[in-house]
Amino acid sequence: MAILVSEKNFAETCVPPFLDVPCDHWAIEYIRAMKEAGITAGYPDGTFKPNAPLTRAEAAAFIIRALEGELISYSSKPYFADVLPNHWAFKYIQKAKEKKIVKGYPGTNLYYPDKPITREELAKMLVMALVSEKILMPVVSSKCLKGSPFPDVEQDRWSCRYIEILKNLGIITGYPDGTFRPKNFATRAEMAAVIYRIFLS
């Protein structure tokens, strides 16, 4: 027998996972799943800040927690000059480097952990995480195989192949206008959505 639940009843029974993630937020179930899986605990004040830009440190932390949880082994010798042992995300970034999920910026040994990550940078990091788990084959060329996956992502753009892979897997769909906006900063809510689709669904 089907049980019908009205929107009113849902609103009365829904418990937001964080103070700033209401029951009508588009990413509430993704964020709730991440919380229940122990991938995020939000901020000390009980918020998640879903629309805030995702930092490079947060991206590494979410991915490593999704792959291996909190109990991880990693080198105590810093790989990056700007990510020292006293940084809150040190162990996650160390592990992400060891798994070849991340690299420093070209020509430096810097990671810029607190810098917001762009959508195309995040796409590459996610694909590299899947490669590290041998779910995907290594990416041998950044050029897309079949034209442009989105009208604002050129076939020879450095991030094209990573974006193409995620689109083909159904992990990303772009914006309603058909664009991907690769240089836009990824938000914490968007990260929750892709983490769910890759690791939790």
pLDDT at 34: 96
Q: What angle, rounded to 10 degrees, do the helices at 188-195 and 28-36 form?
A: 70
pTM for this one? 0.91
In a domain, 86, yes or no: yes
Residue 11 has pLDDT above 80, yes or no: no
Q: For the segment 170-195, what is each residue's pLDDT rounded down to a tens digit? A: 999 899 999 999 999 999 999 999 99
Q: Diameter of the chain by CA atoms?
A: 63
Q: For the segment 38-56, what is each residue's pLDDT rounded down to a tens digit? A: 999 999 999 999 999 999 9
CA atoms within 13 A on the CB side of 120: 17
In a domain, 176, yes or no: yes
In a domain, 28, yes or no: no
pLDDT at 9: 47
Q: What is the mean pLDDT of residues 62-88?
A: 97
pLDDT at 12: 60
Instruction: State how far the Cα of 27 lies from the Cα of 16, in Å rounded to an integer.
Output: 11
Distance of CA 91 to the CA centre of its chain: 17
Q: For the segment 81-103, what is each residue's pLDDT rounded down to a tens digit? A: 999 999 999 999 999 999 999 99
In a domain, 20, yes or no: no
> C-alpha angle with apex 129: 128 to 132, nearest 5 degrees?
85
In a domain, 34, yes or no: no
In a domain, 160, yes or no: yes
In a domain, 25, yes or no: no
Instruction: State how far the Cα of 96 lies from the Cα of 87, in Å rounded to an integer.
Output: 15
Q: For the segment 117-163, what is each residue's pLDDT rounded down to a tens digit? A: 999 999 999 999 999 999 999 999 989 988 999 999 999 999 999 99
Residue 10 has pLDDT above 70, yes or no: no
For residue 48, the tally of other CB atoms under 10 A from its CB is 26
In a domain, 184, yes or no: yes
Domain count, the chain: 1
What's the domain range around 148? 53-200
Query: Which residue's structure tokens are 């995020």?
Result: 40
